């Protein structure tokens, strides 16, 4: 019961935070699936930060649990006070309810079958391998969680370089979340990391489907969902209990919220705050998330160009900075005061020698191209080529309301991929080995976000008459 209660508290707190970020007057039940898709990741992000702070300041577990209940109650009261007169009407004025007869039925059937198959596979494999299916799951992420849970007041002692594969500098969102639930339960159980892997995997699917449906229509959302569920390596990575699928969720969440903020430019402060929070959670999940956070900030600084309208630029950057900077300080404390320096920048002379070696660039470029064409483990045709063909055939849609946000997010992903390339250039590991065992996972981190940007910028497969119809307004 304690585990179920803690899970409900975590998800409910995330839902309340998401609902508070939604523009006033939209109502609690408006865009419900989209809000629910955010809530697990949002709640886990918040609770992992609180758990780490409780370790830093030696806060007892019961006090932490009481504090989290108080936070939930206060946020709920604030939400009720703000929304008790709200109507359950979407602020997005979307096409989420549009479908195209037979095509819509075919897509819905395909999505349903894909979802049922994925649920069955995940349930079966997680029950058989609750510790995860890969080395990193039990040797890094779950091991970090055990040190946090068992360490007591000496939890810092675990983060040393004495264990060669331990990677003490890896961020703690996933281990802290696991240890947090173990603290509620009072014992370790493999069911917790398995449940988190399941939650992040299907939250990512739900977020992609619901966000595209709200912004571009139900058929487009179903197509996006089928593409993600049909990517074999996505489910494989989700089941592995690595941190790559959780990272892909936070990247997607930050991007979706930034696009949504562009739809309500006069009242988007809270959505931008939440977008910054999700980007910061990505940095707290994996070191690659720090790359994304830097790319996200740079892209947002440059697009739109600040010199064109300083007032708008400042209004958009302030909430992002207000959320990101405190969390970055917390991450910096962990890396500098607790974990110590990582392996990547341990020897500047060797880094320089590798950086000026052209053969490394050529090898990395060839691997990037090979994995791009063969990415995802598809049987007949790579998903990347399917997406390119789909976008080429249908073309861009004519709306410009989210064009700046989409350009910002696209550049953020491009810069992140460029950062991945640069890290391979200076990696302290054998280059071929490193590429072989990690590049597919790096592409998977970006894949849900790429699918989202493609399906919100490409025309939907609907008749022109349907595309021009106004969306029906919902009412109580």
Give pLDDT, residue 476.
Answer: 36
pLDDT value, residue 333: 94
Cα-based distances in Å from 152 to 20, 51, 60, 64, 179: 35, 13, 10, 14, 11
Closest CA to 9 of 70, 61, 89, 72: 72
Whether residue 394 is contained in a domain is answered as yes
Count the neighbouring beta carbons within 10 Å of the beta carbon of residue 411: 17
How confident is the model at residue 42, as a pLDDT? 97
Residue 127, in any domain of the structure? yes
Residue 91 lies in a domain: no
Cα(261)–Cα(406) distance, integer angstroms: 11
Q: Confirm whether 71 is domain-assigned.
A: no
On whether residue 33 sits in a domain, the answer given is: no
Q: Which domain holds residue 302?
A: 114-463
Task: Tell me what pLDDT residue 163 has.
Answer: 73
C-alpha–C-alpha distance, residues 170 and 285, integer Å: 8
Encoded tokens for 331: 């991450």
Q: In 287-304, which positions are buried (b, 16+ CB within 10 angstroms) versus exposed (e)?
A: bbbbbbbbbbbebbeebb
pLDDT in 10s for each residue of the chain, 476 residues: 778 899 999 999 999 999 998 887 666 677 889 999 999 999 999 999 999 999 999 999 999 999 999 999 999 999 988 876 555 556 665 544 455 578 888 999 999 999 999 999 999 998 888 888 888 898 889 999 999 999 988 899 888 777 767 788 899 999 999 999 999 999 999 999 999 999 999 999 999 999 999 998 899 999 999 999 999 999 999 999 999 999 999 999 999 999 998 887 666 789 999 999 999 999 999 999 999 999 999 998 887 655 456 777 777 788 889 999 999 999 999 999 998 777 777 778 889 999 999 999 999 999 999 998 888 777 767 788 889 899 989 888 756 556 778 889 999 999 999 999 999 999 999 999 999 999 999 999 999 999 999 999 998 776 443 444 444 444 33
Task: For residue 77, tell me if it sits in a domain.
Answer: no
What are the tokens at 376? 């995802």
Number of domains in the chain: 1
In this structure, is residue 344 part of a structural domain? yes
Distance CA 161, CA 405 (A): 41
Give me the pLDDT at residue 376, please: 79
Report the length, in residues, of the chain.
Answer: 476
pLDDT of residue 133: 82
- Is 151 part of a structural domain of the chain? yes
Using CA atoms, how far apart are residues 190 and 182, in angstroms rounded to an integer? Answer: 10
| Amino acid 462: pLDDT | 63
The DSSP bridge partners found for residue 65 are none
Position 267 scores a pLDDT of 66
* Angle of the 191-216 helix axis to the 101-128 helix axis, nearest 10: 170
pLDDT of amino acid 83: 73
């Amino acid at each position: 019961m304690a585990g179920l209660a803690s899970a409900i508290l975590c998800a409910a707190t995330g839902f309340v935070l998401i609902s508070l970020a939604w523009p006033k007057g939209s109502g609690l039940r408006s865009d419900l699936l989209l809000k629910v898709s955010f809530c697990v990741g949002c709640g886990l992000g918040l609770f992992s930060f609180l758990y780490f702070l409780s370790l830093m300041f030696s806060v007892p577990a019961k006090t932490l649990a009481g504090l989290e209940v108080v936070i939930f109650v206060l946020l709920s009261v604030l939400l009720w006070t703000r929304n008790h007169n709200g109507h359950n009407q979407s602020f997005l004025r979307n096409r989420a309810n549009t479908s195209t007869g037979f095509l819509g039925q075919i897509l819905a059937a395909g999505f349903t079958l894909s979802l049922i198959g994925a649920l069955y596979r995940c349930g079966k494999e997680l029950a058989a391998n609750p510790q995860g299916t890969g080395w990193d799951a039990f040797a890094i992420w779950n091991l970090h969680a055990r040190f946090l849970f068992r360490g007591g007041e000496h939890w810092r002692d675990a983060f040393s370089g004495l264990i060669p594969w331990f990677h003490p500098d890896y961020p703690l969102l996933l281990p802290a979340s696991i240890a947090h639930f173990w603290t509620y339960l009072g014992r370790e159980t493999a069911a917790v990391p398995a449940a988190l892997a399941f939650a992040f995997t299907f939250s990512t699917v739900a977020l992609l489907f619901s966000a595209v449906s709200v912004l571009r229509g139900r058929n487009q959302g179903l197509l996006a969902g089928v593409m993600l569920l049909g990517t074999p390596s996505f489910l494989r990575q989700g089941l592995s209990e690595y941190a790559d699928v959780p990272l892909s969720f936070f990247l997607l969440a930050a991007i979706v919220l930034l696009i949504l903020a562009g739809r309500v430019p006069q009242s988007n402060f809270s959505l931008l705050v939440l977008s910054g929070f999700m980007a910061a959670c990505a940095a707290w999940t994996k070191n690659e998330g720090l790359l994304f956070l830097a790319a996200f900030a740079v892209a947002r600084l440059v697009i739109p160009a600040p010199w064109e309208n300083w007032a708008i630029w400042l209004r958009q950057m302030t909430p992002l900075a207000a959320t990101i900077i405190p969390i970055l300080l917390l991450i910096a404390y962990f890396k500098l005061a607790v974990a110590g320096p990582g392996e990547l920048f341990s020897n500047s002379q060797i880094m320089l020698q590798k950086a000026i070696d052209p053969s490394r660039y050529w090898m990395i470029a060839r691997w990037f191209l090979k994995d791009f064409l063969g990415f995802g483990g598809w049987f007949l045709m790579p998903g990347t080529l399917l997406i390119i063909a789909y976008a080429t055939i249908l073309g861009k849609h004519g709306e410009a309301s989210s064009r700046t946000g989409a350009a910002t997010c696209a550049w953020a992903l491009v810069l992140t991929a460029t950062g991945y390339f640069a890290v391979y250039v200076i990696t302290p590991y054998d280059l071929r080995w490193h590429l072989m065992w990690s590049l597919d996972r790096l592409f998977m981190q970006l894949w849900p976000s790429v699918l989202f940007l493609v399906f919100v910028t490409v025309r939907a497969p609907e008749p022109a008459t349907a595309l021009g119809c106004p969306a029906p307004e919902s009412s109580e």
